[in-house]
Structures are given as C-alpha cells and as structure tokens.
Amino acid sequence: VELGLITPPMGMNIFVIKAMAPHIKLSDMFKGVMPFIVSDLVRLVILVAFPAISLVLLN
C-alpha cells in the first residue's frame, strides 16, 4: 500500500507534503522518496521469489 501512496499516479503522501511545504519543488520530493521506492521494490521481489517468508511466524 505504501508503494502506491508514494508513487504516481496517486502519490497521495507526496501531494499532502507538497501542500504543507509549497516552497519545495515536487521533483525534489520524488528524488527524496526514491530510496523508499527502491527498498519497497526489493522487498516485493524477495517476497515474490520466496513466498514462504511471508508464512513464517516467529515467537
């Protein structure tokens, strides 16, 4: 869900921050979010490659 909230076309979190800080360019905000997008994509690839990870319950 977070990946959908920080990437276009929705990007709701980015547009809320833009409304709160109008002096910062939208392109700068997307550049700042890129590490989070990359980490979300890596996590998604790992879960697709190894679905058993999502079934592990730790005590």
Mean pLDDT of 11-23: 87
The more confident residue out of 38 and 58 is 38
Tokens of 21: 């800080």
Q: What type of residue sits at position 21?
A: A
Give the residue extent of every domain in the chain: 2-55
Mean pLDDT of 36-43: 88
41-53 pLDDT, tens digit per residue, is 898 899 899 988 8
- Respond yes or no on whether the N-terminal peptide bond of residue 9 is cis (omega within 30° of 0): yes
DSSP 12-59: HHHHHHHHH-TTS-HHHHHHHHHHHHHHHHHHHHHHHH-GGGGG----
pLDDT of residue 45: 93
Phi-psi map region of 21: left, alpha, beta (phi>0 left; psi -120 to 50 alpha): beta
